[in-house]
Amino acid sequence: MSPTAFRPSRHATRPIRVSFEFFPPKSEEMEKTLWSSIERLAPLNPSFVSVTYGAGGSTRERTHRTVERILAETALKPAAHLTCVAATREEVDEVVRSYGETGVRHIVALRGDPVAGIGTAYEAHPGGYSQTSDLVAGIKRAGDFEVSVSAYPEKHPEAPSLEADLDALQKKVDAGADRAITQFFFDNDVYLRYLDKVHARGIGIPIVPGILPVLNFRQARNFAERAGASVPDWLGARFEGLENDPETRKLIAAAVAAEQVFDLVDRGVRDFHFYTMNRADLVYAVCHLLGLRPQAGQGAERAAA
């Protein structure tokens, strides 16, 4: 990479905006890790921070608690993920209503994975929302929520074709989605080709790239396999031989993620959604390279209180 690639301001006409994704912690120790990550990242003034919803709605309470704590203890804007899986419409609507009461204004609406696991046939709950576009419409009916949805530059594994997948995105947009966040990808050309297809359909909502900094290559490859994301050979080559060398792996991980986001900045992208895996270091470093600096009063003080 040429050194000039590390100058994101070169083409930056609009400011860089970031958002961070976390998952609800399962144990006290994980809770500590999550909160130290939130405290570290909050001063970077993200547009929002999102909290995932476990498969089959398994983290309903924990997602709710985490989102509530973010609202109570930080100045961050939380976005709660919500799926259609294993719940009636009434149950899902009740979750939406209680989010509204708590002060949540942003929901990431998803279908969710089949209850029997990825790779099995999806069966909608008989009394539930049968597809994501219905959930989006339901949330919009329930109140003044901002709604984000997913997008799949390499198509969702269940979609018969990219065109069918784009039809699903179109339906979500028609139902009122305000933004889409992509599944992670490592080949920027794939994302930009996808954007061309989205724009050719007249879809105008932001399609924000989801960036997964790769700290553990083997784990990322497993995620990618389940998510239908391709892993280029060059990525594996960069981590080759570093299985027992976490220090170097971390440096390489930061370089790889920085290279990806700078290339996107060079190609006009300004918004980034980071899959943090509840860890701050790598994401903080990449955001720093993107030119973001801690801002007073943007959550750290309140988060630390």
The set of catalytic residues is 21
Least Å distance, CB 295 to ligand FAD, is: 26
* Shortest Cβ 88–ligand FAD spacing (Å): 17
Q: How many Å apart are CA 302 and CA 300, to the nearest integer?
A: 5
CB closer to ligand FAD, 150 vs 249: 150
- Alpha helical stretches, state H, the chain: 28-41, 60-73, 89-102, 132-142, 162-174, 188-200, 217-227, 233-239, 246-266, 281-289, 300-304
Classify 295 as helix, strand or coil.
coil
Rounded CA separation 207/151 (Å): 7
* Residues at the interface with ligand FAD (CB under 6 A): 52-53, 55, 81, 83, 108, 110-113, 122, 131-132, 150, 156, 158-159, 164-165, 168, 181, 183, 210
- Contact by Cβ (8 Å): 50, 78: yes
Of 35 and 223, nearer to ligand FAD (C-beta) is: 223
Residue with Cβ nearer ligand FAD (206 or 291): 206
Name every residue whose Cβ is closer than 8 Å to that of residue 130 and which is 6 or more positions away in sequence: 84, 124
CB of 241 to ligand FAD, least distance (A): 31
Nearer to ligand FAD, 106 or 111 (CB): 111
Tokens of 134: 């219905």
Nearest approach in angstroms of CB 154 to ligand FAD is 11
